[in-house]
Amino acid sequence: MLKDLGSLPAVFPMPVLMVATYGEDGTIDVMNVAWGGICGMDKIALNLAPDRKTLKNIRARKAFTVALADEAHVKEADFLGTASGNVMADKFQRTGLHAAKSAHVDAPVIEEFPVTMECRLEEVRECFGEQRVVGTIVNVLADEKVLDADGKVDASKLNAIMFDQFRNTYYTAGKEIAHAWRVGAELMKKQ
């Protein structure tokens, strides 16, 4: 039997996206964003509150990186989603993570996260009280330890974490259950 739960953001899983920028003075700012995803073959969209330091940095630098958080760094990822860069100047330093400058955009790459998209800002639009940031993915970096023999990211090695908005918890992903565009192929055949 189905039970009414009311209006809530009932999408699972939500990605745990680590958005990194440089501030005006070159300081590194990283924010955990769950409300975002791919919106085109080379586009990513993020929904940010208008008062976020990360949003200010994106507007100023016209660039950002988006990394996939992993199980090994769930503590740091969670902290970066709860601490505010507007309040805590040493937010990134407290994590013990390391950053390098992107070779493709004016933004930092967090070295510990296994996959990072380097993005150029395309637009920011107001949308239902939030700011929708759309960027073009100009390059993807991946740690060799998460690649398969063909040089593709292997989700079973990634240990990416997902956010559960129902219970405010994190899960890991990675168990392959079927191949897309094949598992449903038999239903395409006429009966």
Evaluate if residue 32 carries a pLDDT over 70: yes
* Mean residue pLDDT across the chain: 94
pLDDT tens string 115-136:
999 999 999 999 999 999 999 9
Beta bridge partners of 155: none
Q: Which of 11-15, 129-133, 175-179 has the highest mean pLDDT?
A: 129-133
pLDDT tens string 53-95:
999 999 999 999 999 999 999 999 999 999 998 899 899 999 9
Could you tell me which residues come within 8 angstroms of residue 78 by beta carbon, excluding any fewer than 6 positions away? 32, 170
Could you tell me the residue ranges of all domains in the chain? 14-188
Q: What DSSP character marks residue 34?
A: -
Q: Is the CA virtual torsion 149, 151, 155, 159 positive or negative? A: positive
Could you tell me which residues come within 8 angstroms of residue 97 by beta carbon, excluding any fewer than 6 positions away? 30, 73, 76, 110, 111, 112
Q: What is the pTM of this model?
A: 0.94
Could you tell me which residues come within 8 angstroms of residue 82 by beta carbon, excluding any fewer than 6 positions away? 32
The rounded distance, in Å, linking the Cα atoms of 93 and 27 is 10
Q: Which helix (H) or strand (E) holds 28?
A: strand 28-33
**Assigned superfamily of 14-188:** Electron Transport, Fmn-binding Protein; Chain A (2.30.110.10)
Q: Amino acid letter at 15?
A: P
pLDDT of residue 191: 66
Q: How many residues does the chain have?
A: 191
Q: Is the CA virtual torsion 62, 68, 72, 77 positive or negative? A: positive
CB-CB contact of 145 with 157 (8 Å): yes
The rounded distance, in Å, linking the Cα atoms of 120 and 111 is 19
Evaluate if residue 33 carries a pLDDT over 90: yes
- Of the chain, the percentage scoring pLDDT greater than 90 comes to 81
Q: What DSSP character marks residue 51?
A: T
Q: Amino acid letter at 53?
A: K
What is the token pair recorded at 88? 């805590």
